[in-house]
Amino acid sequence: MAQEIERKFLVDTVKLAKLTGGKEIRQGFIPTSELTVVRVRISGDDAWLTIKGKNEGITRSEFEYVIPKLDAIDMLNELCLEPQVMKNRYCVEYCGYTWEIDVFLGDNKGLIVAEVELEHADDEITLPEWVTQEVTDDPKYYNVNLVRHPYKNWN
Amino acid sequence: MAQEIERKFLVDTVKLAKLTGGKEIRQGFIPTSELTVVRVRISGDDAWLTIKGKNEGITRSEFEYVIPKLDAIDMLNELCLEPQVMKNRYCVEYCGYTWEIDVFLGDNKGLIVAEVELEHADDEITLPEWVTQEVTDDPKYYNVNLVRHPYKNWN
């Protein structure tokens, strides 16, 4: 079984170099219980169906499958919660790790988070100077929760 | 988008010839809202992940993907509702259609249903003499509902 081990941080955009070469991501979530996430994602010509288990610390099980883009479009339009989550993703290499910086759009415009995927939950990483508060454990930053409680409605 | 158009009937086992050549199916469901079904199925060495939309009459959208059997085992054990649905499936040809006869096991032992998949919702079919009541529209016969309300608890 694949595992996703990930830490998530807010970003100080003043300290961040200009981002280039991003990929637009459109994703939605099939309504499930809180124990599982079923995500449909499109980026460019590619699409994926991803099942994620419950978070245990910064680790969760993850099962990801490439699917036809037309299936993904149908599932996003017919089966997923509204609104869909739109973001541009930029990859930045830093001290041996690839950081993914998500610049959200639409109802989540203004929100920018940086994620780094680890091999082991206790891997020590050097934080870039442009990350600030860690939000790994804060459910409001889970993408699935950005559908029902988008950033524009946060206080 | 694929569509599943299916009718389901109870079976008079007295009139049914002895069934042979069945395949054991083990399946479970990731807990979702009632609008969508996310099914994990194993049969022999094969496994599938299937997303089904809401029923509209006898029609529903269906997205099915072959997945590694080990993924399916992990999802069944970790993410799916208990108990899993176990059944033996037999295929019987009748008047140009393939009927799938599901003989349930475990908590649903005693339940036998026959399903026939159609190309169009208004296809006319000849019913075999061994089918009785149609239960297409009765939610208690949906496999996803046989998890929480198995046949052994029916009155």
H-helix or E-strand spanning residue B71:
helix B69-78
CB atoms within 10 A of CB B132: 13
Interface check for B59 against chain A (CB to CB < 8 A): the answer is no
Decide if B40 contacts B28 (C-beta within 8 A).
yes
ipTM field: 0.90
Q: What is the pLDDT of residues B106-143, one digit of tens each?
A: 999 999 999 999 999 999 999 999 999 999 999 999 99
The dihedral formed by the CA atoms of A31, A34, A38 and A42, expressed in degrees to the nearest 10: 80
pLDDT score at B103: 98
Decide if B126 contacts B94 (C-beta within 8 A).
yes
pLDDT score at A57: 84
Residue B145 has pLDDT above 90, yes or no: yes
CB-count burial class (<10 Å; 0-12, 13-18, 19+) for B118? middle
Chain B residues with CB inside 8 Å of A51's CB?
Answer: 30, 38, 49, 75, 79
pLDDT score at B155: 83
pLDDT score at B55: 83
Are the beta carbons of A31 and B31 separated by less than 8 Å?
no
Q: What is the pLDDT of residues B43-101, one digit of tens each?
A: 999 999 999 998 888 899 999 999 999 999 999 999 999 999 999 999 999 999 999 99
Structural class in CATH, domain B3-153:
mainly beta
Residue A71 Cα, gap to closest chain B Cα (Å) = 6
Are the beta carbons of A38 and B30 separated by less than 8 Å?
yes
Mean pLDDT of the A17-24 span: 93
Q: What is the pLDDT of residues A51-73, one digit of tens each?
A: 999 888 889 999 999 999 999 99
Instruction: For chain B, give every domain's residue range.
Output: 3-153
Q: What is the pLDDT of residues B9-37, one digit of tens each?
A: 999 999 998 999 999 999 999 999 988 99
pLDDT score at A19: 92
What does pLDDT average to over chain A? 95
pLDDT score at A7: 97
| Closest to B107 (Cα-Cα) out of B41, B48, B154 | B154
- Among candidates A38, A65, A71 on the partner chain, residue whose Cβ is nearest the Cβ of B38: A38
Label residue A2 by pLDDT band (50, 70, 90). Answer: confident
Residue B3 Cα, gap to closest chain A Cα (Å) = 12
Q: What is the pLDDT of residues A123-152, one digit of tens each?
A: 999 999 999 999 999 999 999 999 999 999
Residue A3 Cα, gap to closest chain B Cα (Å) = 12
Amino acid in the structure at residue A146: L
Distances (CA, A) of A42 to A48, A49, A90, A99, B136: 7, 9, 15, 20, 34
Beta bridge partners of B85: B27
Structural class in CATH, domain A2-153:
mainly beta
Residue A4 Cα, gap to closest chain B Cα (Å) = 14
Interface check for A30 against chain B (CB to CB < 8 A): the answer is yes
Residue A21 has pLDDT above 80, yes or no: yes
Residue B152 has pLDDT above 80, yes or no: yes
- The beta-carbon contacts of A55-60 under 8 Å, at least 24 apart in sequence, are A57/A121, A58/A5, A58/A6, A58/A7, A58/A118, A58/A121, A58/A136, A58/A137, A59/A3, A59/A4, A59/A5, A59/A121, A60/A3, A60/A4
Interface check for B79 against chain A (CB to CB < 8 A): the answer is yes
Interface check for A49 against chain B (CB to CB < 8 A): the answer is yes
**Predicted TM-score of the model (pTM):** 0.92
Residue A20 Cα, gap to closest chain B Cα (Å) = 35
Chain A residues with CB inside 8 Å of B67's CB?
Answer: 63, 65
Beta bridge partners of A115: A8, A100
Interface check for A45 against chain B (CB to CB < 8 A): the answer is no
pLDDT score at A153: 95
d(CA B127, CA B124): 9
Give the chain B residue whose CA is nearest to the CA of A52.
Answer: B79
Residue B1 has pLDDT above 80, yes or no: no
Beta bridge partners of B108: none
pLDDT score at A55: 84
Mean pLDDT of the A38-55 span: 96
pLDDT score at A34: 85
d(CA B146, CA B137): 15
Could you give the percent of chain A with pLDDT greater than 70? 99
Q: What is the pLDDT of residues A86-136, one digit of tens each?
A: 999 999 999 999 999 999 999 999 999 999 999 999 999 999 999 999 999
